[in-house]
């Protein structure tokens, strides 16, 4: 039986702009516009790009035990974040495998967990299963929210034309609530590109008006709409993991290089015991970044060799527009994951030399940390 693809509130806008629409995580999404992926990528690196990421899921938790619930189902320490702050984290199975990576937002009256579109139902049910017996209300509000991402070095100046909110006061991974061109929004200084920018959470019914206002206001600054193709090349240049490619339930956050968001000392949480054992025993494989030493396109699934033997496969790979080089990531034996290690990526049955590097591959982004 064919399942109909979901559409974001901005689907009609993408079609009107001539976007190429593709299935993605159960959604009908724009992969690129007539400008092309390369120009969209460059616009974000040099000016600004506007993304529709309304397919992402938002799950709210309210009540006396909301923090305790979030602490138990995520690996990072949510007790450390203040009202108006966001935190990157991971949710794990008891065996340590990553259910999803997510961003946790703390409001004065609630918490919000932003999850990947493909995992929305799974994540909601997982959180609800651990909410039983707690004084907490969990709601999936994804259908009520549209999410627009304005990214690039010109993003702040552009957005300032449409809001009275003090954008300079919003630090990296912090947010404020305010109006953008008359639309109520959560204005979050976060993103997935390595450039300065904001993610705007608005009511689904307000998405079209705000999308148009932003494009109109930014046209003179070089703002263009950007699809999933450039989103992937931008995030990979920064070494940001993509769920389903670089992390999944077969891998732990320690293997994925996310030990920095895995707070084993915060108290009990789902997967902690398994992660403690893995850390004590030593991680056998790690997600490593590599750069090709010759021209080539390292695609997902290509075999990676170390010392002449198959050692892993490419999880994400492409020809990076900002670097003019092939880059990628792969799980390889921990001893091989050290920067400077020489590898080979099998491209059309030909070994292409590569070198392990520490991401970000592109270190010149304007993101304000």
- Dump pLDDT digits (tens) for 147-183: 999 999 999 999 999 999 999 999 999 999 999 999 9
Q: What pLDDT sits at residue 310?
A: 98
Residue 332, beta-bridge partner list: 286
The Cα–Cα gap between 2 and 357 comes to 43
Residues 43, 148: one domain?
Answer: yes
pTM above 0.95, yes or no: yes
Residues 209, 154: one domain?
Answer: yes
**By three-state DSSP, how is residue 169 classified?**
helix
- Dump pLDDT digits (tens) for 223-249: 999 999 999 999 999 999 999 999 999
Q: Sort strands 49-52 and 57-62 into parallel, antiparallel or unpaired.
A: unpaired
Look up the CATH number of the domain holding residue 310: 2.40.30.110
Q: 323: domain range? A: 284-357
* CA nearest to 56, candidates 148, 130, 131: 148
Show which of 216, 237, 258 is a domain's final residue: 237
Q: What pLDDT sits at residue 300?
A: 97
- Dump pLDDT digits (tens) for 260-296: 999 999 999 999 999 999 999 999 999 999 999 999 9
Q: Is residue 73 part of a domain?
A: no
User: Considering its fold, how many domains does the chain have in total?
Assistant: 2
Look up the CATH number of the domain holding residue 173: 3.30.1360.120
The Cα–Cα gap between 101 and 74 comes to 9
């Amino acid at each position: 039986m064919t399942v109909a693809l979901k559409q974001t509130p901005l689907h009609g806008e993408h079609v009107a702009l001539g976007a190429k629409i593709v299935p993605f995580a159960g959604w009908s999404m724009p992969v690129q516009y007539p400008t092309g992926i390369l120009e969209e990528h460059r616009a974000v690196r040099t000016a600004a790009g506007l993304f529709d990421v309304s397919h992402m899921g938002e799950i709210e938790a309210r009540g006396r035990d909301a923090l305790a619930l979030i602490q138990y189902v995520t690996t990072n320490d949510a007790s450390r974040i203040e009202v108006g702050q966001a935190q990157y984290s991971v949710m794990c199975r008891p065996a340590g495998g990553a259910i999803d990576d997510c961003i946790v937002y703390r409001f004065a009256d609630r918490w919000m967990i932003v999850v990947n579109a493909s995992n929305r139902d799974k994540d909601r049910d997982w959180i609800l299963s651990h909410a039983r017996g707690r004084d907490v209300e969990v709601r999936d509000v994804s259908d009520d929210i549209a999410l627009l991402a304005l990214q690039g070095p010109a993003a702040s100046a552009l957005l300032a034309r449409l809001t009275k909110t003090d954008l300079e006061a919003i630090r990296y991974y912090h947010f404020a609530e305010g109006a953008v061109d008359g639309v109520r929004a959560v204005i979050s200084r976060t993103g997935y590109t390595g450039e300065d920018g904001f993610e705007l959470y608005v009511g689904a019914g307000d998405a079209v008006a705000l999308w148009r206002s932003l494009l109109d206001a930014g046209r003179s600054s070089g703002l263009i709409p950007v699809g999933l193709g450039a989103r992937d090349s931008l995030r990979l240049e920064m070494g940001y993991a993509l769920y389903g490619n670089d992390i999944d339930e077969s891998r732990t956050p320690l293997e994925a290089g996310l030990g920095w968001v895995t707070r084993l000392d915060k108290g009990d949480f789902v997967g902690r015991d398994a992660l403690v054992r893995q850390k004590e025993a030593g991680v056998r494989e790690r997600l490593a970044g590599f750069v090709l030493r010759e021209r080539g396109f390292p695609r997902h699934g290509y075999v990676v060799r170390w010392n002449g033997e198959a050692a892993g496969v490419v999880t994400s790979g492409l020809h990076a527009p900002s670097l003019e080089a092939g880059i990628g990531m792969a799980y390889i034996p921990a001893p091989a994951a050290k920067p400077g290690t020489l590898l080979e990526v099998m491209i059309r049955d030909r070994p292409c030399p590569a070198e392990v590097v520490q991401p970000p591959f592109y270190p010149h982004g304007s993101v304000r940390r």
